[in-house]
Amino acid sequence: MTAPTLDGLLGSAGVLVCCGSGGVGKTTTAAALGLEAARLGRRAVVVTIDPAKRLADALGVPGGLSNDPVQLPADGPGELWALMLDTATTFDGLVRANAADTEQAERILANRFYHNVAGSLSGTQEYMAAERLHALHADERFDLVIVDTPPTRNALDFLDAPGTLAKFINHPLFRLLMMPTRRGLRVLNVATQPILRTIGKVVGGDVLADAVAFFQAFSGMETGFRQRADEVIELLQSDTTRFVLVASPRADTIEEARFFAARLQGSDLSVSAVVVNRCTPQFGDPPTRRPRNADAALLYDNLREMRATARAERVHAAALLADPALPVDVHTTFVPTLPGDVHTMDALLQIRGLLFDTPA
């Protein structure tokens, strides 16, 4: 089976994840993929974590993106939507959607542990990204979810988030905290539980009491959370979820890209296509001799220098493509550096043209 092209992926994938190290062009690529998907007739939603207002402007959302999908202007029979992931708002929405009644929801939303701690617990952000992916994938309005990832090495931790949550919910301590209300016993008293007394000494009695209240308020909702976590794991491992690795052709960023490829491989996933962005543009051959005219000589020197840079970039990119963590014949697209940043629709359409050979 030959490796799919970017076109092929846009036609067949249900989820496309753009990953790579900081500043290589993940958000730009995600936006350009979204535009092309709409051109091809798909109903695509781009989930970005990037608050870059200028990109929002370029996409035609003057007020910036919000946590809810907004439809953007796009050419073609499809649709393009975009949203900016906001962890706290997503968590609130989940609580409201999954609580048995508004009273339970309000109890959780008013809880101090929920406010002060839950959002900043390590993994919450990743977990909310996974929950969001789940919801958007199930949303009838869209048939393709394009995920832009943040500029950290941990960006792919959301792959593990559902599994981590499932483990957490099955944790004996969690079960202990949940039990009293589930069995209809007396409300758990922190002071009478030796293990909780010990924990309370470490984290502080108030924090613990808030946490216990939080988990008790949460009671009954964990089944839904566990079920969705399982479904997200299934979704991430399915054939319709594909990973696009974005890199730029410099030694350090190629090293990072290889880290991401290995990270995916470590989760039994793989890169489906590579975009090498911000390549030095290729011009024609310089004349065989250096011209005598000073201006012409300067141009000649520049051209030679750029060619040398381009050659070095090819060597760096080749190291990435030869990495055993990548499929042998993985489809690769080289995108040159544009003269300015990609902060207008015109520039974005130009990037799309370079990615897909469609007229800009």
Ligand X SMILES: Nc1ncnc2c1ncn2[C@@H]1O[C@H](COP(=O)(O)OP(=O)(O)OP(=O)(O)O)[C@@H](O)[C@H]1O
Minimal CA–CA distance to 116: which of 29, 39, 207? 207
Task: Tell me which H or E stretch contains 58.
Answer: helix 53-59
Minimal CA–CA distance to 277: which of 16, 6, 20? 20
Minimal CA–CA distance to 68: which of 56, 41, 86, 55? 86
Other Cβ atoms closer than 10 A to 217: 23
Q: Does 210 bind Mg ion (CB under 5 A)?
A: no
Q: 212-251 mask for ligand X (x: CB under 6 A)?
A: ----------------------------------------
Q: Does 29 bind Mg ion (CB under 5 A)?
A: no
Cite the beta strand spans of 182-329 per DSSP E. 241-247, 271-279
Which partner, ligand X, Mg ion, none, binds residue 333 by CB below 5 to 8 Å per kind? none
Q: Provide the minimum distance between the beta carbon of 27 and Mg ion in the complex, in angstroms, as a whole number.
A: 3
Query: Of 13 and 351, which CB lies nearer to ligand X in the complex structure?
Result: 351
Q: Does 338 bind ligand X (CB under 6 A)?
A: yes
Of 17, 39, 50, 142, which one interacts with Mg ion (CB under 5 A)?
A: 50
For CA atoms 75, 132, 234, 227, the dihedral sign is negative
Q: Does 342 bind ligand X (CB under 6 A)?
A: yes
Q: Does 349 bind ligand X (CB under 6 A)?
A: no
Q: Does 343 bind ligand X (CB under 6 A)?
A: yes
Which partner, Mg ion, ligand X, none, binds residue 343 by CB below 5 to 8 Å per kind? ligand X
Residue nearest to Mg ion (CB): 27
* Interior/surface letters 84-94, b for 16+ CB within 10 angstroms, e for the rest: bbbbeebbbbb
Which partner, ligand X, Mg ion, none, binds residue 122 by CB below 5 to 8 Å per kind? none
Euclidean distance between CA atoms 167 and 266, whole angstroms: 19
Q: Does 282 bind ligand X (CB under 6 A)?
A: no
Report the interface residues with ligand X, using CB under 6 A. Answer: 22-28, 50, 52, 151, 277-278, 335, 337-338, 341-343, 351
